[in-house]
Chains A and B, each alone.
Chain A
Amino acid sequence: MLSIGTPAPDFNLYSTPDQQYTLQDFQGKNLIVAFYPADWSPVCGDQMSLYNEMLQLFRKQNAAIVGVSVDSKWCHQAYTQARNLHFPLLADFEPKGAVAKAYEAYDDKEGQCHRALYVIDGNGIIRWNFLSPPAVNPGADGILDALEKIQAKKI
């Protein structure tokens, strides 16, 4: 994983066929980037649903969240609607996994993203990272702790 204190790599990815996001779009906010293996898989669904429930808590910490997988924008659009998600899932689809590779969150063997989390501050610097085993939903206690420390300028 990329080290804490290093600048987060830029990205420019589609979430739906008519919506794109770049890292600059989140300037001034803390950003949680949650890489995950695949839409429509049970653990990923639980993980994204939990984050969806936590949006209010993230907003209190001046934070936004994006999910990133190698699924296409069409797949993300359907999955976001099916799960009633209120945050963007970004399609690291073409070239496949390019952003995940830049974030050292790509599993070459499986051809998909690792279950990896980054918290990036409003200046684009990585302040927290975590790698979870593929079958384990990492939860969000670590994310909340990191956001609180960033807000309190303790990390």
Chain B
Amino acid sequence: MAKLTPPPGPQDHARGKEGAPVTLVEYGDFQCPHCGKAFPAVEDIVKKMGPGLRFIFRHFPLSESHAMAKPAAIAAEAAGRQGKFWEMHHGIFQNQAMLSVEALFAIAQHIGLDLEQFRNDIQDTALEDKVDADFESGVRSGVNGTPSFFINGHKYNGSYDEESLMASLTF
């Protein structure tokens, strides 16, 4: 069974407390329709499990298939610099069908980002490096499509509907 490499660390965007009994890591592509479909299921699970779950999102953009996947990932990282990674993550998935550079700026404005700083940050190559590092870590962890989930460090190969995921999280 493929193992998560590297394990969760300070480089990750996480919701929930460190030390929670279950850590769910998703490798996702913001423009992938399957990831868009998994998004509400994961949100429900995060709410239902509360302090019992820590959720981490890592980027796995398939840029040649999805032209806006990488810009969206970089935008989320830029929002993260202003402490709003998850607000951007939600905004992108909620507007997945109409992703564009203009849409990313509209989401940034809607969630209250400093737009000047956002504009500067998305041009910082360090953010692209972070996205690339996530991608490479996914490859090394055995990610072969999106979304891919890891539960407590081990690859989950089941369906990504809420019921199936929940059953595997609440062993």
Contacts and interface: CB of A to CB of B under 8 A. Distances in A.
Interface of A: 46-47, 49-50, 52-54, 57, 83-86, 136-141, 144
A137 B135 contact: no
B62 to A, nearest CB: 5
Given A46-B145, A47-B144, A50-B145, A141 B64 contact: no
A139 B65 CA distance: 17
B63 interface: yes
Contacts of B62: 49-50, 53
Identify the 7 closest CB pairs spanning chains A and B, nearest first.
A139-B144, A137-B144, A84-B64, A141-B142, A46-B145, A52-B64, A49-B65
Interface residues of B, number: 14
B85 to A, nearest CB: 23
Nearest to B141: A141
B145 A140 contact: no
Contacts of B139: 50, 54, 57, 139-141, 144
B107 to A, nearest CB: 25
Contact of B135 (A47, A49, A53, A84): A53
Interface of B: 2, 62-65, 135-136, 139-145
Nearest to B146: A46
A85 B64 CA distance: 8
28 contacts: A46-B144, A49-B62, A49-B64, A50-B62, A50-B139, A50-B145, A53-B64, A53-B135, A57-B136, A57-B139, A83-B65, A84-B64, A84-B65, A85-B64, A86-B64, A136-B144, A137-B145, A138-B144, A139-B139, A139-B142, A139-B144, A140-B139, A140-B144, A141-B139, A141-B140, A141-B141, A141-B142, A144-B140
A49 B2 CA distance: 20
B144 A50 contact: yes
A87 to B, nearest CB: 11
Point out which of A83, A84, A141 has the most chain B C-beta atoms below 10 A from its C-beta.
A141
Contacts of B144: 46-47, 50, 136-140
A138 B140 CA distance: 12
Nearest to A143: B139
A141 B1 CA distance: 12
